Amino acid sequence: MKVFEDRAGKELGSDTGNLIISSSKGRGEPLFLSSHMDTVQVCLDKEVPVLISRDRIDTGGVSILGSDDKVGIAAALEMLTVAVEKPEIARPLDLIFTIKEERGALGSGFLNPEHIQSRYGFNLDGETPVYSAIREAPAKARYNILIHGKSAHAALNPEEGINAVRIAGKIINKLPDGRIDSMSVANTAYVAGGGATNVVPDRAEINGEFRSLDKLKFTKIKENILNTVASGAESDGGQAEIAIMELYKGYYLNDDEICVSLFSEACKSIGKKPLLLRSLGGGDSNQFNNKGMRNLVFGFGMESIHSKDEYIVISRVIEAAALLERTIFFV
């Protein structure tokens, strides 16, 4: 068994890199299991409470639980334990624990496929129901807009100023936002600018993102944002800078790909119908699939992730882990 840490931490400003645990024991096609080590921002200064009540784990509504993706990490380690304890059913495995998934899948974007033996696998990061997996996800981009106006005294010579905050408001009103169509979404997420009330503000900033499952629609949304910013700033005499960062491309897995076949066969072997889903969310699977590391996002049934109401149902997670074992091993 080998343990390897890459340079993602040093390159991306983290205290650790992506971690890879590789086991060559077993037979058949090697597979990888991925999960991410970061969570969204925890809103507590103290340790997050973990409350267990019968079949449920939550925080009592005071913080995120972080099941996204602690559940995936636990499941991956459990599969490694099974491989060690039951070598007769095992296959070669790579466990990939990534960093900065919640910041735009940056860790998986950095990872070099040459460090792993497998080219097929499962991303253990699904909030979808047990017996479901995500086979399609969108491309995603973030944008940052800086608007430059001209400062002036708001009482003595306001006509000499160019109000960057007002320009920002006009631009925001025309930016694509919310559910654009069945395959595309956008979100205006952050606005800042201005200062003292007696000064015409000369600077404002807007941040947001957009996603689409369709390449052509993705390009049109991008062009729409660029044109909206340019025309909105110029019409009032201001100037604007815009930077668009394309975080990852979309993907789709066909029925005959190994990970899809393994998942479907495992569900059917116990009388369950496999649910192969489309999602407008994205993450590590986007990066991996576009590097030739083909994978599905495996459903664990996590609930209300990224919120204080987040919880997991213990029996549901155990059921998903049993399905995962049947999927990846020769059970």
Q: Which of 125, 118, 231, 117 is nearest to 170 (CA)?
A: 231
CATH fold for the domain made of 139-248:
Alpha-Beta Plaits (3.30.70)
Q: What is the mean pLDDT of the chain?
A: 96
Q: pLDDT tens, 287-297?
A: 999 999 999 99
Render pLDDT for 229-251 as a digit per residue (tens, 0 to 9): 999 888 889 999 999 999 999 99
Exposure of 256 in the CB half-sphere (CA atoms within 13 A): 0
Q: What is the pLDDT of residue 233?
A: 87
In angstroms, the CA 35 to CA 38 distance is: 9
CA–CA separation, 148 and 310 (whole Å): 41
Domain with CATH 3.40.630.10 in the chain: 2-138+250-328
pLDDT value for 331: 86
- Percentage of the chain beyond pLDDT 70 is 100
Predicted confidence (pLDDT) per residue in 11-67, tens digit: 999 999 999 999 998 999 999 999 999 999 887 778 889 999 999 999 999 999 999
CATH 3.30.70.360 domain span(s) along the chain: 139-248
Residue 250: what are its φ and ψ, rounded to 5°? -80, 175
Tokens 């000064």: give the residue: 199
CATH class of 2-138+250-328: alpha beta
Separation CA 281–CA 291 (nearest Å) = 19
- Which one, of 159, 124, 143, lies nearest residue 328 by Cα? 124
Edge-to-edge strands, sheet with 311-313 = 51-53, 56-58, 311-313
Collapsing DSSP states into helix, strand and coil, what is residue 1? coil
How would DSSP label each residue in 257-294?
SHHHHHHHHHHHHTT---EEEE-S--SHHHHHHTTT-E
Distance CA 288, CA 202 (A): 42
